[in-house]
Amino acid sequence: MNIKLHPYRLEFVFPFRIAHGTRTHTDAIFVELESNGITAFGEATFPPYLPYTIAVAKESLSKLDLKGLISTTGMVIDPRHSLLPYQNMEPPALAALDMALWLLKAKSEDTTIRSLLGITEVYDAPRTYTIAVCDCEEMEKRLGHGRSKGFSFFKLKLDGVNDRQMLADYKALSNATFGVDANQAWTDTGYALEFSKELEQQGCVLIEQPFHKDDLVNTKKLSAELSIPIIADEACQKYEDIDKVKGHFSGINVKLQKCGGISPAYDMIKYAKSLGLKVLIGCMSESIIGCSAGEVLSPLCDWNDLDGSYLVKEVPFGN
């Protein structure tokens, strides 16, 4: 097996403004694995508000024991087993490696990753297109772009400042299904409840991460007052977080970049569903490579937020 690492900068189609700030790109690294003439890619992305870097990822990935990923007969070993020694690797790097290995294994065995995982569900989870914080003119452009890509379900980013204007502009421009994501922006519980009731009346179908990730008390209070599901994102990044957020949130957002790939994401989804939690499968502004890996798990989820490949411009690698 051979490995190549490709650092890259994913440029956004539109500036991406959320509660964490505004950016025009996301740095990424693509992991290319080759074995017996078969090639597969994985992807790691590095939004600036997360504490992970390409430099650390490259260092970790360069130390891999590639022989430990292949059996003595030349078969790709199930990543759930072969990657156990690397669980301390930072999540984006582990995710890229995990997704590339699953794809390489599927290709080499002429099957699909879903088949390898035993996923037989055929549910087509409703797909969201993200509208970052923007003015009405810009929102109209973004809605048009989303519609041109086949989307009819939108997720509005909120920042705690322009929320009502975002809602008003959206309702003036669209009657399509929508949800919102505050990215921890709400700090005033009175405002949160009042505005959430407005969202409820306007047909909002989900509210993602309204308060700081550690503010479980107010999250639980808000959940109790609403019929809208409250979804954990920053508050639930790995399997161990599920027990912490259950009873406070109605569901979780599972992201391969945060939990470490297809393998741990699959485990998170199965456990969350066993607890009666709803699941949204999301992404971190990834290209088609990372989003395609997430698509493997989409039939197990209630919503699909794998729109990253529509938010960024083209990349020079196949999936």
Q: Annotate 110-168 with DSSP letters as a single string.
A: TS-HHHHHT--------B-EEE-S--HHHHHHHHHHHHHTT--EEEEE--SSSHHHHHH
Residue 46 has pLDDT above 60, yes or no: yes
* Per-residue pLDDT, 17: 87
Q: Which of 280, 270, 283, 284 is nearest to 249 (CA)?
A: 280
* Per-residue pLDDT, 157: 97
Question: At 160, which CATH number?
Answer: 3.20.20.120
Q: Is residue 110 part of a domain?
A: yes
Residue 290 has pLDDT above 80, yes or no: yes
Range of the domain at 65: 2-116
Are residues 106 and 37 located together in one domain of the fold? yes
Residue 316 has pLDDT above 80, yes or no: no
Q: Is residue 102 part of a domain?
A: yes
Report yes or no: 98 and 83 within 8 Å, Cβ to Cβ.
yes
Sign of CA dihedral 113, 308, 147, 314: negative
Residues forming beta bridges with residue 157, ordered by sequence position: 181
Q: Annotate 27-53 with DSSP letters as a single string.
A: EEEEEEEEETTEEEEEEEEE-TTSS--
One-letter amino acid for residue 103 of the chain: L
Give me the mean pLDDT over the 74-101 stretch. 96
Instruction: Report residue 319's pLDDT band, with 50, 70 and 90 as the boundaries.
Output: very low
Are residues 208 and 66 located together in one domain of the fold? no
Are residues 215 and 268 located together in one domain of the fold? yes
Are residues 28 and 109 located together in one domain of the fold? yes
Are residues 136 and 250 located together in one domain of the fold? yes
Q: Annotate 237-302 with DSSP letters as a single string.
A: -SGGGHHHHBTTBSEEEEEHHHHTSHHHHHHHHHHHHHTT-EEEEE-SS--HHHHHHHHTTGGGSS
* Per-residue pLDDT, 209: 98
**Distance (Å, rounded) from C-alpha 14 to C-alpha 141?**
9
* Per-residue pLDDT, 318: 54
Q: Which of 144, 160, 161, 163 is nearest to 152 (CA)?
A: 144
* Residues whose CB falls within 8 Å of the CB of residue 143, separated by 6 or more in sequence, listed in order: 131, 154, 173, 174
Instruction: Tell me the per-residue pLDDT of 234-285, one tens digit each, with 9 for 90 and over.
Output: 999 999 999 999 999 999 999 999 999 999 999 999 999 999 999 999 999 8
One-letter amino acid for residue 136 of the chain: C
Q: Return mean pLDDT, the chain.
A: 95
* Residues whose CB falls within 8 Å of the CB of residue 41, separated by 6 or more in sequence, listed in order: 30, 31, 32, 33, 100, 103, 289, 317, 318, 319
* Residues whose CB falls within 8 Å of the CB of residue 27, separated by 6 or more in sequence, listed in order: 7, 8, 9, 10, 45, 46, 54
Last residue of a domain, one of 87, 116, 145: 116
Instruction: Tell me the per-residue pLDDT of 215-232, one tens digit each, with 9 for 90 and over.
Output: 999 999 999 999 999 999
Give me the mean pLDDT over the 58-72 stretch. 93
Q: Which of 257, 287, 291, 309 is nearest to 95 (CA)?
A: 257
Instruction: Report residue 20's pLDDT band, with 50, 70 and 90 as the boundaries.
Output: confident
Residue 50 has pLDDT above 70, yes or no: yes
Q: Is residue 318 part of a domain?
A: no
* Per-residue pLDDT, 314: 79
Place of tokens 């690698």: 317
Q: Is residue 316 part of a domain?
A: no
Give me the mean pLDDT over the 111-129 stretch. 97
Helix (H, G, I), strand (E, B) or coil at 205: coil
Instruction: Tell me the per-residue pLDDT of 128-184, one tens digit each, with 9 for 90 and over.
Output: 999 999 999 999 999 999 999 999 999 999 999 999 999 999 999 999 999 999 999
Q: Is residue 121 part of a domain?
A: no
Are residues 108 and 208 located together in one domain of the fold? no
Last residue of a domain, one of 57, 86, 116: 116
Are residues 77 and 142 located together in one domain of the fold? no
Q: Which of 22, 284, 285, 26 is nearest to 134 (CA)?
A: 22
**Distance (Å, rounded) from C-alpha 184 to C-alpha 212?**
5
Are residues 169 and 223 located together in one domain of the fold? yes
Count of structural domains, the chain: 2
Report yes or no: 247 and 274 within 8 Å, Cβ to Cβ.
no
Q: Is residue 28 part of a domain?
A: yes
**Distance (Å, rounded) from C-alpha 46 to C-alpha 136?**
29
Q: Is residue 317 part of a domain?
A: no
Instruction: Report residue 317's pLDDT band, with 50, 70 and 90 as the boundaries.
Output: low
